[in-house]
Structures are given as structure tokens and as C-alpha cells.
Chain A
Amino acid sequence: MQWDRRDSVPKKETANPRFSRCDSYHCEFFRESIISKVRTQKNQATSKSSARVRNRQAGQVGRRPYLAEKEDGSMREAAQSGRFSIGSAPPRVRGWAQAFLRGSCWAVCLAALLAVASARLNAQTDCLACHGDASMQDASGHSIAVNGKTFAQSIHGSLKCNDCHADIKEYPHPEKLAPVDCKKCHADEAAGLVGSVHADSKEHPCTSCHGNAHTIFPKTDSRSAVYPLNIPRTCGACHSTDGMAKKHGLPSVYPAYMDSIHGFALSKEGLLVAANCQSCHGSHHILSHNNPLSSTYKTNIPKTCGSCHAKINDEYQMGIHGKAVAAGDLKAPVCTDCHTAHAILQPTEASFRMQSTPICGSCHQDKLSTYRDTFHSQLGSLGGYVETARCWDCHGAHDVLPASDPRSPINKANLVQTCGKCHQGANLSFVQYQPHANAHDRKLNPALYFVRLFMNILLIGTLTFFVLHTLLWLIRARYEQIKKKSTNGGKNA
């Protein structure tokens, strides 16, 4: 691959080697690639061109030297030098072309060249002739290469380059081009972005989510950056520990999501319907959760989750929490208060059962403290032992209702059944048990209060007496022991 086009350039014509390379490149290009030829051969495999290169190395000059030219990188240098020139004199004029040029007038030749140029700029192939070089970079070192094959398959594959790069009218084109304006075609999406958290198009260009502009696929295509299974990774590029989120002080939600029940369904099962980022947050018109119009604003969350969990949402709306939220009480819990937003766990999992009671207790503090005194809590808080009753085992989870409501599982009429879920053989007397009894409340639980008082007095009284008794005894016995030892060396006190 070290073949250098310069070898074929006569030295005397090479005032500036860089120029000469460019010239040789373009002159041969214009001479030989009478554009129709280029079009038909545009997708020749690299191996073929490599073969040609090898042939040339063996002394045979190929038909399309510009392809080889690309491989020695001089094209890139030329591009970097920014000194393309068209129409320089051909360095090496072959017989048939010479005859052609001589036989035609210059005007005809120029007209042909103009026609060639305009045709070229209307087709991908022409641009790819340069930009198809995978190593092509601009002056600042950014890749300006386009993979023609992938681009052809992409959602924009049928477009011409200057449909998007609208400021390219002719070749050569200016080195600096205006940014592509996606809005021109995607007006609805652009309108959605206005006012959203990603509204700043400099910080969040379309490509930050949709990926490389030349490899955008439909969202149903698994290669798409916004294919359901790829969305978390796409969003996570910024919204994870080391991403942009950190810079902006946003929580790192990507790892939490990936370990959640939704993340597992998506990554392990490949479940397309599993909730991904945009299922809850939307795609273009993402609003801050502080914005009352946001799908993640507190009062809107039940509806958002309910778009999949419809039945649970119905139950929730019927319960006391759902009614409170609907009435505008922002203190009442919505789905995310108990289940969290991103790190959602399977509710039957030990870790969820462990973490949920304090969540209820963060509002119902008095109930939590009396629950803590019961055997349910004592054994339950020992970690993995999850069988003991947690709040919602008795109160219901989504359709929490006051005990006075006949539908409530803690309504007197339902207690035998509710307790009986765990305590087989529970009867009316059994359900007299108070799961939130307060042994320190004389009015509410007098019997329990006095039992506790008696036991406390017994404990403190017995221990106080015997601690004093034993301390005195110890001192006296030690004194006797020392006294005896000093008198007769006796062993016992």
C-alpha cells in the first residue's frame, strides 16, 4: 500500500509536491472518470482496489488511479492543505485523450466539465469518492468520512448529500460548512424540543441521541440508537456516573435503571415492551419533573406508569393515596415514592420488602414506631427473613383504604381473612390482636400498659436488688480473702 502516486508524476512538473499530487489526482480524475464510469463502479470492494494497487506496484498502471491515491493518504493531505485546484494541466497526457482534447475546442471541454461537476454534487457517489475514505479528516482532525454502504441502508440513504448539507452547491465546496439543520424536514420533532430539558441544540444536537448522522436507522431497526433496547444505553451515555449528568449535578440513573426490574426485562429478556427511558420521560418534549406538564411530575406519575400498569393504576386511583393525589395533595405517595423511579425492584424481592416499611413510615411515623414493637417487625427487620407482615400485607398496596371502608382488608369484617393469609386458623378472638398496640399508652391499651409496667418493675427491681447484693458481697468476700491470706495463708473467704 506504500505505492505513491508521485512516482507517476514527472518531476519537472512538480513545483510543489503537494500541488502536484493534487493536480495529478484531480486531473486524472477528470480525465478518466467521466462520471458515468464512476457511478457504475462506485461500490467496488476494497479488496479489488487493493489488488489493483498491487498490480500497479508490479508496474501495471491501473485504470482508476484515484482510488489508489486515496489509499496512500495524499488525498487527505490535500484536503488538509485546503488547496484543491481544478483544471490544472494534465501531468501525463495519453494518446487518445490528447487527440480528444486537441480535436475539441476548449469551450466544449469546459461545458463538459461543468456538467460533470453539477452531476457529481447531486449524487452520494461523487461525495463518497472522497468522503468514502475511512481515514478522511478535516483540518482539526475530526473524521469527515462516511461509510457509503451503511449510509445507503440508513433511513436517509435515499437522500442526496446536499439535501442536508444544503450549503454545498458545487465542487470544490468550502471547507467550513454550516451545521445541518434537521428541523428543515423534522419540524415536529424540533418543535417538541423547544422548552424541553434538551432544548439547547448546541449542547444536545439531534445526533447526541440519534447517533452519527450518516448511520441513522428507523427506531424499529435494532441498529438504531433509539431502538427500544438501545435507548437506555443512549441516554446512559450522559445520564450515568461519569456522564454529562455528573457535570450538571443530575443523579446517575443509568446504573439504577439497569439493575431495576425494567432494566432486567430489557437487557436480559430483550423485552421490547419493557419500560425504557422514553416510555416515561417521552422523547423530544422531555420536561423537568418539576414542570406540572411533565409526564414525571408527581401528579402525572400514576398516569405515566398506568400507561402500562393499567389495572394497578385503577386500584391506586380508588385508594386513599390516589384520591389524595388527585385532589392535589402532593404529600401523598405516588408510584415512585414507594417503588422509586429508576431502581424499581420486584416487590416480592427480599430487598424491596426490607426497604419499603421505612418508606411508609416516613409519613406514618407513629404507626412505624408501634409496628417496630411487634414481632412482625422484630423478625422482619433481621434482613432476609421476609415472611413477616409488612405494611401492605395487611393494608393493601395500591388500593389502601381506611379501616372504616368495608372494602379495606383491615376492616373488621375482613380481618379474619386478612390475618388468615399467614395465620392459618385465625379466628375472631385472634384478630383482636393489635398490630400497632402501644404499651406506653395507658388510655389506648390499658391491659398492655399495666403488663409492661409490672414486667418493667419486676426486671428493674430484681436486678437492682441483686446487683447491690452481689457488689457488697464481692467487696466483703475479697476483703475476707485478703485478711485470711495475710494471717494464715488461707485459701477461702
Chain B
Amino acid sequence: MRDLEQEAAESRRHGGAERFFMRFTREQRYMHAVLFTTFLGLAATGLPIRFSESIWARGLAKAVGGFGAILFFHKFFAVVLTLAFLIHVKEIFTRGILHRETGIFWGSTSMVANWKDAKDLFGHLRWMVGLGPKPKFGRYAYWEKFDYWAVFWGMIVIGFSGYAMWFAPFFAHFLPGWALNAVLVIHSEEGLLAILFIFSIHFVNTHLRPDSFPMDMVVFTGVESEEEFKHKRPLEYERLVRQGKLEARQAEAPQTWLVTFSRVVGTIAIVIGLTLLVLTLTAYFS
């Protein structure tokens, strides 16, 4: 198991303090915090409704504040998440369109998928089965881009279908009758996909895989060690070295309280998520 403090102490023993580099800005970390808090809330209040016939549904509904409260909290988290989503879209719009920041839509720092991601996916799969070398990943690997776009698409689909149910008489002005039936199917299936994906694939890919076990702290602290940076994102590291921008990204080592706090919050989130995953799977297959 890897530990940032241990790592720092180790590198000091080897001579020369461990260097840390910025990966996520404060705003991005907060965005992730809002995202996972509201997502856990939405999952905890949505699953009992989706699987209302299950034994645990009533208990969970009670736990989140009773049957009357469950829909209120679901809507509350939805509104907060919607605001976060709009803030993010506004930022993309400002940076990408108004300020014409090229890195937003194009190039190695962009979230937009490109040909290299397709090649990386196949290269990675080949490496997994031992048929080739491990691909070198840039700032955002293909599975990270998939996570981003899955959430982006998910928020549009789930959000729209959710609001269509919430304000059904209003949406009925421009939606056909069958669409009112369809929005529930879309909302619940897409929600289920998001829950299953985040609590299994995202948890493992990002936090629980041997490279990051038990969790990747970078999204909480914003910084990662030089060694980790080099190992996980060699292409990005090489690019920064080549462009002479590496020093500008250097940051201070994360403070102990932040690491501890992040560990606690992260562990709680992962435990809640895995619990909900187990409940979902038991309900789905029973």
C-alpha cells in the first residue's frame, strides 16, 4: 500500500525532497466534491424509489428522512448538481469560446476524445493480455475521458428526464404523450447505469486498482508526487519537461490534515457507494 507521507519520507531518505506537481485546481477539486456528494445523495434517495419493492427500500427511505422526505431530498440534490453542472458548462464556455483557450477542445490537455485515445484503448487492452507494451498516457487517459463524458451525458439525460417528470404538465406542452412514459424508463435505466458504473468501474479504475489503492488522493489534495506523475502520465510529464513548464506546475506537498481529512471523506464515500452497489445488485437479481 502506498502512502504519500511514507513516500515523502522515503524520498528524503534517498536524498532530495520529493517534488509535488499540481494536477487539479482548487475549483476542480471542489467540483468533484460537490459531484460525488450530490451523486451519493441522489443514489441513496433514488435507489429506494427505483427498487421500491425491495426489503431494504423502506429502511433506506426511512434513513434519509421518511417517505415524504425522500423525494424532497432527491430533488434537492438534483438542483445542487444541476447548478454545479451549469457552472462547469459556463466555465468551459468562457475558457473555450470567449477566451479561445485551445487546450479546452483540442490537444493533449483536452477532454475531447481523439485518435490517440482509440489507439491507447487497444494498446492498453493488448498490454493487459500481454501482447504489447503499455501505452504512454497523457493528461487524461481514455478511461478518464470516458468517465467525464459518461457523467456529462448522464447529467443531461438524467437531468432532463428528471425535470420532465418533476414538471410533467409543463413539459407536456412540447413533449408527445408517450415521452412522459419514456422519461421514467430513461431516468431509471440511465441512473442505474450511472450508479453501477461509478460504484464499480470508476471506483476500481481510479481508486481501487493496485496503482492507486486504496484511493487516488490527487482529486482531494490536487497534487501528486513526481514519481507518481511520471509513472501514471509519462506523456504529460515529458511534454511539460519539453516545453519547460514543469517547474511552473510544482506545488507544495499536501498538508497532513488535508490528507487525513481526504482519506476519511473518501473512505466514507467509497463505503457508501459499495453498499449501494451491493443493494442495487441484490435488488436487480432478485
Contacts and interface: CB of A to CB of B under 8 A. Distances in A.
24 contacts: A379-B49, A379-B71, A382-B49, A382-B52, A382-B57, A383-B58, A384-B66, A384-B68, A430-B169, A432-B178, A433-B177, A433-B180, A434-B177, A434-B181, A445-B181, A447-B178, A452-B189, A455-B186, A462-B150, A463-B193, A470-B205, A477-B209, A477-B210, A491-B7
Contacts of A462: 150, 193, 197
Nearest to B48: A382
Contacts of B204: 470, 474
B172 A427 contact: yes
A445 B165 CA distance: 19
Given A423-B168, A459-B192, A492-B227, A378 B50 contact: yes
Given A470-B205, A492-B228, A385 B186 contact: no
Interface in A473-493: 473-478, 480-481, 491-493
A290 interface: no
A455 B197 CA distance: 14
B13 interface: no
Interface stretch (A56-64, A109-117, A291-299, A369-377): A369-377
Q: Which 9 A-B pairs have the closest CB atoms?
A: A432-B177, A385-B67, A430-B172, A455-B189, A425-B169, A472-B128, A433-B180, A429-B172, A447-B178
Most buried by A among B2, B49, B52: B52
Contacts of B50: 378
Interface of A: 372-375, 377-385, 423-427, 429-434, 437, 439, 445, 447-448, 451-452, 455-456, 458-459, 462-463, 466-467, 469-470, 472-478, 480-481, 491-493
B201 A470 contact: yes
Interface in B57-83: 57-58, 61-62, 66-68, 70-71
B250 interface: no
B21 to A, nearest CB: 16
A375 B186 contact: no
Contacts of A480: 210
Contact of B185 (A429, A434, A455, A491): A455
A466 to B, nearest CB: 4
Nearest to B167: A425
A452 B178 CA distance: 12
B129 A472 contact: yes
Given A374-B184, A382-B49, A429-B173, 14 more contacts: A378-B50, A379-B70, A379-B71, A382-B70, A383-B67, A432-B178, A433-B181, A434-B178, A448-B185, A458-B189, A458-B193, A463-B200, A470-B209, A472-B129
Interface of B: 2, 7, 48-50, 52-53, 57-58, 61-62, 66-68, 70-71, 124-125, 127-130, 143, 150, 165, 168-170, 172-173, 175-182, 184-186, 189-190, 192-193, 196-197, 200-201, 204-205, 209-211, 227-228, 231
Contacts of A374: 184
Contact of A382 (B2, B67, B127, B170): B67
Contact of B178 (A375, A445, A469, A470): A445
Nearest to A431: B177
Contacts of B186: 451, 455
B53 to A, nearest CB: 6
A280 B129 CA distance: 78
Contacts of B68: 384-385
A104 B238 CA distance: 149
A209 B109 CA distance: 91
Contacts of B177: 429-434
B211 A378 contact: no
A429 B67 CA distance: 30
Contact of A466 (B165, B189, B201): B201
Contacts of B70: 379, 382, 385
Contacts of B211: 477, 492-493
A304 B49 CA distance: 41
A467 B200 contact: yes
A473 B57 CA distance: 34
Given A448-B178, A491-B2, A474 B168 contact: no
A140 B196 CA distance: 78
B210 A430 contact: no
A424 B129 contact: no
Nearest to B230: A492
Contacts of B210: 474, 477-478, 480-481, 493
Contacts of B53: 372, 381
